[in-house]
Amino acid sequence: DADVTQTPRNRITKTGKRIMLECSQTKGHDRMYWYRQDPGLGLRLIYYSFDVKDINKGEISDGYSVSRQAQAKFSLSLESAIPNQTALYFCATSDRQGGREKLFFGSGTQLSVL
């Protein structure tokens, strides 16, 4: 079973619709992240959370919101989707191991906004 699970894997929606992408993890990590990936732009950080009461904006948070419902769950919402939010979205987790903290990614959600 996957340690970091994202649902759905694919989603097609229309402009103006509200969309929620969900992420759950069984790794027991405190830190969770949402990234989007666009061709030629690499991975860009949307939001991150270091525990249930901690939410932080990343590089490109406009148009997005998040909720950390529990240590294991971190959801990303698009309140009113627009076509330039079409992208591959990844959830990731990490655990502090001194300096060697690294990211573990989910399988991704391909979102298309028409």
Query: Are the beta carbons of 104 and 6 closer than 8 angstroms?
Result: no
Q: Rule CB under 8 A: is residue 12 a binding residue for other proteins?
A: no
Query: Are the beta carbons of 72 and 24 closer than 8 angstroms?
Result: yes
Q: Rule CB under 8 A: is residue 26 a binding residue for other proteins?
A: no
Q: Which of 58, 61, 67, 112 binds other proteins (CB under 8 A)?
A: 58
The position carrying tokens 């991975």 is 43
Q: Rule CB under 8 A: is residue 84 a binding residue for other proteins?
A: no
Q: Residues interacting with other proteins, by CB under 8 A? A: 33, 35, 40-45, 48, 50, 56, 58, 90, 96, 99-108
